[in-house]
């Protein structure tokens, strides 16, 4: 087969998988609920996303695979309405409204342990739903056009799929089980957090989960294959006059979270760390358009290149600053 023909067939297969992924429906994540999951916002549209939008637009990550073979350099952050941004198929309408009510409409208190519990739950719900989508889409792609991959390409692709599958089948069920237990016993001290209030709108909104082991995560995993992966959630919640930031984790991951607990708003590289985590560890970051557009193409490309890598906190200064104190 000619290379051009191969690419054409690959594109068609990926397009098809993307379409069925967009149409795929799920049940609500809440255990016992059989309602259909709606497209929830992992970041509240009113107040939160609105506060960083311009004409109701923000820049956010383009998750589609359509332009994967485009000749143009791919822009990962694209301009979207706040309605289209930060959505995930997680909860039914009733649960999405009820569960998170306490932390919406500027009512979030980042020193309150129940509120931090809700932030953690929201981040992990988003992570789970997103990875579930990605995994099923990948299975589709391999079924349809797996034969067109090079051997090495297929192996890498299947490897990343295996990671997603393990997360969905082993890690995520454990996290949800623990979060349910905490809710049932109301022992919210089982959620540890380190949170900050910054007295300006930083123009960035995000919710994400990442490994507190950072660049050591891969090695730790290979030595602890049977262990649950430790994780930390980070929420950046802007509003008109301030930005709230909270890192949350389950008590059993305490021993891995020293570096996260030590993050201090007074340290010199605080804003560097925030930028690094928001732009390299999150697929859910939304940015004020004028803030993003003022970056040079070189700065944007530097950020794109670092996305998804487990960078260390020490290297945080290498990331161009989108948020500034």
**Contact residues for Zn ion, defined by CB under 5 A:** 28, 30, 33, 35, 92, 95
Tokens of 281: 């560890």
Nearest distance from residue 100's CB to Zn ion, in Å?
12
Measured from the CB atom, is 87 or 137 closer to Zn ion? 87
Measured from the CB atom, is 37 or 134 closer to Zn ion? 37
**Residue 83's closest CA among 123, 43, 122, 111?**
43
Nearest distance from residue 122's CB to Zn ion, in Å?
14
**Residue 257's closest CA among 224, 232, 282?**
232
Measured from the CB atom, is 37 or 263 closer to Zn ion? 37
Measured from the CB atom, is 26 or 149 closer to Zn ion? 26
Task: Please work out, in degrees rounded to the nearest 5, the angle formed at the alpha carbon of residue 167 by the alpha carbons of 164 and 173.
Answer: 140
Nearest distance from residue 172's CB to Zn ion, in Å?
17
Nearest distance from residue 82's CB to Zn ion, in Å?
24
Nearest distance from residue 125's CB to Zn ion, in Å?
11
Measured from the CB atom, is 35 or 252 closer to Zn ion? 35
């Amino acid at each position: 087969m000619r290379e051009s023909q191969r690419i054409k067939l690959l594109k068609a297969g990926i397009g098809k998988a993307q379409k069925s992924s967009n149409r795929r429906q799920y049940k609500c994540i809440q255990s016992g609920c059989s309602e259909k999951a709606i497209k929830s916002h992992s970041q509240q549209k009113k107040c939160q996303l609105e506060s960083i939008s311009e004409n109701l637009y923000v820049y956010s990550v383009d998750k589609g695979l359509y332009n994967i073979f485009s000749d143009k350099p791919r822009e990962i952050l694209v301009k979207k309405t706040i309605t289209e941004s930060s959505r995930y198929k997680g909860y039914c309408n009733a649960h999405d409204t009820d569960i998170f009510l306490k932390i919406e409409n500027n009512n979030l208190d980042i020193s309150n342990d129940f509120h931090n519990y809700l932030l953690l739950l929201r981040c992990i719900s988003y992570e789970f739903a997103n990875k579930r989508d990605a995994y099923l889409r990948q299975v589709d792609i391999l079924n349809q056009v797996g034969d067109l991959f090079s051997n090495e390409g297929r192996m890498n692709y299947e490897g990343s799929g295996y990671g997603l599958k393990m997360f969905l089948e082993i890690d995520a069920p454990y996290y949800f089980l623990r979060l349910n237990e905490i809710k049932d016993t109301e022992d919210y001290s089982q959620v540890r957090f380190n949170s900050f209030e910054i007295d300006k709108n930083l123009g960035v909104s995000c919710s994400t989960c990442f490994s507190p082991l950072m660049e050591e995560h891969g090695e730790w995993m290979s030595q602890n294959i049977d262990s649950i992966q430790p994780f930390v959630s980070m929420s950046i919640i802007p509003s008109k006059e301030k930005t709230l930031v909270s890192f949350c984790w389950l008590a059993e991951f305490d021993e891995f979270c020293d570096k996260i607990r030590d993050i201090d708003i007074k340290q010199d590289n605080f804003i560097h760390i925030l930028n690094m985590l928001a732009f390299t560890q999150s697929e859910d970051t939304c940015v004020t358009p004028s803030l993003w557009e003022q970056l040079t193409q070189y700065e944007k490309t530097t950020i794109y290149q670092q996305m998804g890598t487990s960078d260390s906190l020490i290297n945080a200064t290498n990331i161009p600053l989108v948020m500034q104190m």
